[in-house]
Amino acid sequence: MKHLFFAATLALSSLPALASPANSYAFGAPAPAAKADRTVEIVMGDMYYEPRSLQVKAGETVRFVLINKGAVVHEFSLGDAVMHAKHQKQMAAMMGQMDHAAMGHGSMNHGAMNHGASMMHADPNTVMVEPGKQGELTWTFSQSTPIEFACNVPGHYQAGMVGKLTIGQ
């Protein structure tokens, strides 16, 4: 049992390393809300965003107000499809480590666990929002490149929780 506790502690202590932010993003950078050119409200429902697509201009700073009207935690993450696929693997690994640490041997009570609440990370292009809460992300878009906004909580992207963001000139 002592070894299991040590392994769980070690696994949990490595979580920030799994979610460390990239040094730069081809599509822009985080910005202070006070610098925003406009505010866009995005509703996060269970497996959808409203609106489902957005257009911004290169050089524009947008303050996203994220309202989770769903029953579970959701994420708003800016990135391309490759970034989202990588982030989904990291989220699944974090969830697997937390499930293992929380359950011990023999317990399989997945229904009682709040998976998303334990998957907090410090990526500047991502915000997790609890059910019934709201969050914000302000971003300055730098160049025209195809990106998406997506929820990378395991299974959410695949269920359709992804939108297209077009950066124009």
CATH code for the domain of 52: 2.60.40.420
Region of 100 (left: φ > 0; alpha: ψ -120 to 50; beta: rest) is alpha
In the chain, how many domains are there? Answer: 1
Q: What are the structure tokens assigned to 126, written together?
A: 């991502």
What is the domain range of residue 73? 2-17+28-168
Residue 122: predicted pLDDT: 77
Average per-residue pLDDT for the chain? 79
Q: Indicate whether 84 belongs to any domain.
A: yes
47 torsion bin: left (phi>0), alpha (psi -120 to 50), beta (else): left
Domain for residue 22, yes or no?
no
The answer to whether residue 23 sits within a structural domain is no
In a domain, 41, yes or no: yes
CA distances from 159 to 72, 128, 168 (A): 14, 17, 28
Q: What is the pTM of this model?
A: 0.74
> 10-residue block means of pLDDT along the chain (169 residues)?
32 34 78 97 97 96 98 96 91 68 42 43 90 97 92 95 94
pLDDT of 11: 34
Q: Is residue 67 part of a domain?
A: yes
Distances (CA, A) of 40 to 36, 62, 91, 130, 142: 10, 7, 26, 19, 18
Q: At residue 134, what is the residue type?
A: Q
| Residue 113 resides in a domain | yes
pLDDT value of position 121: 64
pLDDT in tens, 98-142: 554 544 444 333 333 344 444 556 799 999 999 999 999 999 999
